[in-house]
Amino acid sequence: MKAVVFADRPGRALAPLTDRTCVALLPMAGKPLVEHTLEDLAAADVRDLLVVVSPHADAVEALLGDGARWGLRIEYVLARGDESPDTILGRVQRRLEGDALVMRGDVLRSAVIGPFLAQAGGVPGDSVAATIGGVPAGVRLVRAGAQLPLGLPGDPETPETWRERAPTVALGDARLSLVESFRAYHQANVEAAAGRYPGLLLPGREVATGVLVGRQTRLAPDCLKGTPVFIGSRCDIKGGAELFGDVVISDDVVVDQRATLHKAVVLPHTYVGELVEVSDAIVSTTHLIDIASGAVTCVTDAFLLADLKTATLGSSVGSVAHRLGGAVLLVLSLPLWLPALLLSLLRSPRAPLRRVWLLGNHTAVDDDGQPCRRRFVALEWATRISVLRHLPKLLAVVHGDLRLVGVAPLTPAQAAARTEEWEMVRDAAPAGLLGPAQLTLRADAPLEEHFVVDAYYARTRTAAGDLRWLLRGLAALASPRAWLPRRDQ
Amino acid sequence: MDQRTPDPAQPPATSTRATPSGAIDEQFRAELLRRYTSTIGPMTAWRRFKFHSKRLVWVWVVGSTRVVKRLIDLVGGVALLVALSPLFLLVIVLIKLDSPGPVFFKQTRVGKWGRLFPMYKFRSMYIDAEARKAALMAQNEMAGGVLFKMKDDPRITRVGKYIRRGSIDELPQLWNVLKGDMSLVGPRPPVPSEVALYTLADRRRLDAIPGITCIWQVSGRSEIPFKQQVELDVAYIESQSFWLDLKLLLKTIPAVLLGRGAY
C-alpha cells in the first residue's frame, strides 16, 4: 500500500509563523509537524510514500530526503499553486498500485493509522475516511480503481471546505488538532509535549517527571517551577529564568536570566531577553503572538526578543565588525590610490573624483515622519577599471553608510521608481560594497535582475554567508576581469 | 473538541505566578532602564558588546561541538593509523598466509539516519561465510533475535579468531572515520537486515554518526541483550559531549586489552 501525504499547506492563518516555512515544517513538540505523520506511517508499516509539496518544497525535501531515516521510501509530487487535493490525486493516480492511504501531513493526530486500517477494511466503497470527535481527521483509504473526483476536503484552515463526503470510521479515543489557528497550534504543542497525544514519539530525555530535555541543552535546575516542560536541543536556559508549567521550547533557543515563561511556545532560534515575561503566547524570533487576542507584536529591541540565526552579529556588533574590516581594507588598499588618481586624471583631468548620491544604512526621518535610509555622497574615481573606481567607497564603509557585504546601494531615484512589493524585500538587508548582485551579475544586467538576486539574499543571509561573499569578493580581485577597463554605464 | 474545556489529565495548575520582587530585582530593573535611557557613550557600547557577545558565545558553543567531534576523529584517526601501522602490516601478512581471499572485508552498514555506507574490516572468515550464515541461523545464540552472533563459529579462520579476540579486525574502520562515515565514538553501525527488523523506537540509535566504540562495548560488549543496547545507545546520543567521548575512548583500551565479551 502506498500513502499520499499532503504537506502543501501554506498556512496563511498562521503568518508570521509561516513567513519562512510551511505548516508541515512548523515545530510540534520538538519535531517538524510532518515527522509525526511519517512516524505513524512507519509504525503501521506503510513504507512507500508520495509526499505532495508546494510552498518551501526544497526545505521539505531537504528534511525528509529519501525517507531512509524512518525506513521509508519517499517520492515527491510538486503541487502547483492552489491545486485542489482531488486534482493532485488524479495526477498521481497512475503511480498508486492498489489501495492508497491519502492523508494530510500538516495536522497533528495521535497514532491512528494502524487502528484506522483495521477498521476501514470492513467498510465498503471507493473511499473510507476517518473522523476524530466528529471532525475529518485527514486520513482516508482510497481503494484501487476508485472513481475520481472523491471530493476531498480542502484546506483545514477554512471550515467550509474541511468537510467529509465519504463513508467514515470514527476513531474513538484518538486525538486531533488541525493546527488551523494560533490558539490551536499553541494548544496542540503544549498537549503533545505533555504526552497527551498517545503514540507520538517525543525526542529528548526525561530529567524529572514531566520535564523533557533535548541534546546539548544547558538547563539550570532552579529554573523549573512547574510541569510539564519540554525543551528542545541546543538550548541555553540561564540560571534565574523561571519556567512555569505548559512550556514548549523548540531547538536553538536562549532564555536569559529572570525571563519567565508560562503557557508559552517558543519557536527555534529565538532569544528571550532578561526580565521578559511570556504568558499564554507564542514567541517566534522577533514576534510575540498573544493567544487570547491573536495580536501579533513585532519586537525590534534585541534586548527583549531576537532572532539568533540572523541577528547574532546584530546591528551593533555587526556594523562595528564591518567598519573595522572596511578600515583594514582601506589601509591595505592605499598603494592603489596613487595609480587610481593618475588613471583618473588621464581620463578626466578636470574631475578625477565623481560624486554619486546613494541610499546608505544610516536612518533618517522623511517628511511623513517615517524612518528611511539616509542618502550619502559616495565618491568614485573616474577610471574604467572597476576595482580602482570603487576604491573610495571604502570610506563609506568605514563611515558606516555601507557594509562590506550587502545589497547594492540604490540611488534615491532608483529606490523611488520601485512599485512592486517584491522589489522592496531587498530593503530588509543592509546596503553593502560587495554582495551577490555586485559579484555575480554583469554590469549591464537589468535592474529587475538585481532586485531578484538581492531579494533572495535579503531573505537568506547569515553571518557565515556574508563571510563567504566577502572572501569571494577578495578572491575576485585576483581575476583579470576586475582589472580590465570596462565600458562606462 | 472544545479548546476551552479543561483537560482532566492536566496536572494541577501552577497558580504561583512569578512576581519578580525584592531588592535585587529593583537593582536589576534599574540596570535595564539604564540600558534604554543612555544611548551614547563608551559604557553603552561596552554593555551592548557584552550583551551580543553573550548570545554569540552560545551560538559558538553549540556550533563548535560538531566541529570539535570531527576534529578529534581526524586527529585521533590519523594518529592511531600511524601508531598501529606495524601491526597492520603484520596482520595483512598473516591473513594472506592463512587463507585465500582478500585482506579487507567490505560490508554494507547503516549510518546516520539510515544512510548506507561500506564498512571495512580485516577478513576474519572464509570467503563463503555469508552463504553459510543461513544454514547456521538455527543455532543463533543472541537474545532478542535481531543480531546474529554465536560462539565457536565454524566460518572463522585461525587468524580471524585471534584478531577478533583482540578486536583488531575492527581497526580498518579508522579509514571510515577519516572518510566521515563513522566517528571514533558512537553507536555501532548495524547491517541493513537488522535495521529492517527495527521498530521506530529502535531506530533512534541511527540518529547519530555511528562509531567504533560506544557505551556497551565498554561496559559489557556482546553480552548485553539487544533492547538494553538500544537504550544505552540512545542514552549516549542524548548526552553526547566532548568529555563523555574522551572517557569512553579511554575506557575502550582496557576493555579491548582484557578482551571482555568479544568472540
Q: For A189-208, what is the mean pLDDT?
A: 92
Of A184, A225, A275, the CB nearest to B32: A275
Helix ranges (H only) for B84-139 are 85-98, 129-136
Q: For A475-481, what is the mean pLDDT?
A: 84
Residues A466, A467, A471: CA angle, nearest 5 degrees:
120
Q: Which residues pair with A365 in a beta bridge?
A: A371
Q: Compute how many other C-beta atoms are within 10 angstroms of the C-beta atom of residue A161.
A: 13
A16 compared with B57, residue with greater pLDDT: A16
Residues A384 and A436 in one domain: yes
- Decide if A189 is inside a domain: no
Q: Point out the residues of chain B with pLDDT beneath 70.
A: 1-26, 28-29, 31-44, 47-48, 50-51, 130, 134-152, 220-223, 259-263
Helix (H) or strand (E) holding B122: strand B116-122
* Site from A37, A197, A200, A215 to mutate, B interface, most B CB atoms within 10 angstroms: A215
Q: List CB contacts (< 8 A) between A252 and chain B.
A: 62
Distance from CA of A215 to the nearest CA of B (A): 5
| Chain B contacts in chain A segment 289-318 (CB below 8 A) | 302-303, 306, 308, 312-314, 316-317
- Decide if A376 is inside a domain: yes
Answer whether B20 sits within 8 Å of A43, measured CB to CB: no
Residues A353 and A432 in one domain: yes
Residues A143 and A219 in one domain: no
| Residues A390, A391, A393, A399, Cα dihedral to 10° | 170
Q: For A153-177, what is the mean pLDDT?
A: 88
> What is the average pLDDT value for chain A, to the nearest integer?
88
Give the pLDDT confidence of B190-240 residue by residue, as tens digits.
999 888 888 888 888 899 999 988 887 777 655 678 888 888 888 888 888
Q: Which domain, by its residues, includes A469?
A: 319-483
Is the model's pLDDT at A368 over the cut of 70? Answer: no
Q: List CB contacts (< 8 A) between B198 and chain A.
A: 71
Q: Which amino acid is at B259?
A: G
Nearest to A255 by CA among B23, B26, B239, B58: B58
Tell me, yes or no, if A184 comes closer than 8 A to chain B by beta carbon: yes
Residues A152 and A41 in one domain: yes
Q: For A450-461, what is the mean pLDDT?
A: 87
- Decide if A395 is inside a domain: yes
Residues A256 and A382 in one domain: no
Q: List CB contacts (< 8 A) between B244 and chain A.
A: none
Helix (H) or strand (E) holding A459: helix A447-460
- Kindly state the DSSP code that residue B156 receives in the 8-state scheme: B
Nearest to B241 by CA among B62, B91, B94, B111: B62
Give the pLDDT confidence of A218-238 residue by residue, as tens digits.
898 889 999 899 999 989 898
Distance from CA of A355 to the nearest CA of B (A): 31
**pLDDT attached to residue B21:** 43
**Closest alpha carbon within chain B to A245:** B14
Of A201, A226, A258, the CB nearest to B20: A258
Distance from CA of B171 to the nearest CA of A (A): 27
| Chain B contacts in chain A segment 441-460 (CB below 8 A) | none
**pLDDT attached to residue B37:** 57
Cell of B54: 553573550
**pLDDT attached to residue B219:** 73
**Closest alpha carbon within chain A to B197:** A71
Lowest mean pLDDT among A31-35, A247-251, A406-410, B239-243: B239-243
Distance of alpha carbon A138 from its chain centroid, rounded? Answer: 25
- Decide if A79 is inside a domain: yes
Of A125, A159, A177, the one marking the end of a domain is A177
Q: How far apart are CA A451 and CA A425, in angstroms?
A: 8
Distance from CA of B113 to the nearest CA of A (A): 4
Q: Which amino acid is at B201?
A: A
Residues A362 and A222 in one domain: no
Q: For A359-365, what is the mean pLDDT?
A: 79
Q: How far apart are CA B161 and CA B151, in angstroms?
A: 11
- Decide if A366 is inside a domain: yes
- Decide if A128 is inside a domain: yes
Total domains in chain A come to 3
A487 compared with A478, residue with greater pLDDT: A478
Tell me, yes or no, if A208 comes closer than 8 A to chain B by beta carbon: no
Answer whether B56 sits within 8 Å of A262, measured CB to CB: no
Residues A326 and A435 in one domain: yes
Q: How far apart are CA B71 and CA A24, in angstroms?
A: 35
Tell me, yes or no, if A73 comes closer than 8 A to chain B by beta carbon: no
Up-side HSE of residue B190: CA atoms within 13 Å toward CB?
23
Determine contact, residues B205/B98, Cβ cutoff 8 Å: no
Give the pLDDT confidence of A273-288 residue by residue, as tens digits.
888 889 999 999 888 9
Q: E strands along A253-352, which residues?
A: 254-255, 260-266, 270-272, 277-284, 287-290, 296-298, 305-307
Q: How far apart are CA A214 and CA A235, in angstroms?
A: 8
Up-side HSE of residue A335: CA atoms within 13 Å toward CB?
1
Cell of B88: 597492520
Nearest to A104 by CA among A196, A189, A34, A2: A34
B133 compared with A354, residue with greater pLDDT: A354
Q: How many residues does chain A have?
A: 489
Of A269, A298, A327, the one marking the end of a domain is A298
- Decide if A314 is inside a domain: no
- Strands, sheet with A48-53, edge to edge from the N-terminal-most edge strand: A73-78, A48-53, A2-7, A100-104, A135-142, A127-132, A168-170
Helix (H) or strand (E) holding A117: helix A113-120
Coil/strand/helix, residue A181 = coil
Residues A172 and A29 in one domain: yes
- Decide if A185 is inside a domain: no
Q: What is the CA radius of gyration of chain A?
A: 27
Of A42, A236, A312, the CB nearest to B200: A42
The CATH number of the domain holding residue A106 is 3.90.550.10
Q: Which residues pair with A363 in a beta bridge?
A: A373
Cell of A418: 520601485
Residues A323 and A469 in one domain: yes
Residues A347 and A240 in one domain: no
Q: For A293-310, what is the mean pLDDT?
A: 77
Q: List CB contacts (< 8 A) between B54 and chain A.
A: 256
Q: How far apart are CA B233 and CA B208, in angstroms?
A: 9
Tell me, yes or no, if A215 comes closer than 8 A to chain B by beta carbon: yes
Of A215, A226, A306, the CB nearest to B238: A215
A460 compared with A183, residue with greater pLDDT: A183
Residues A171 and A95 in one domain: yes
Residues A361 and A407 in one domain: yes
Of B62, B113, B240, the CB nearest to A68: B113
**Closest alpha carbon within chain B to A134:** B1
**pLDDT attached to residue A362:** 81
Is the model's pLDDT at A23 over the cut of 90? Answer: yes
Q: How far apart are CA B131 and CA B142, in angstroms?
A: 19
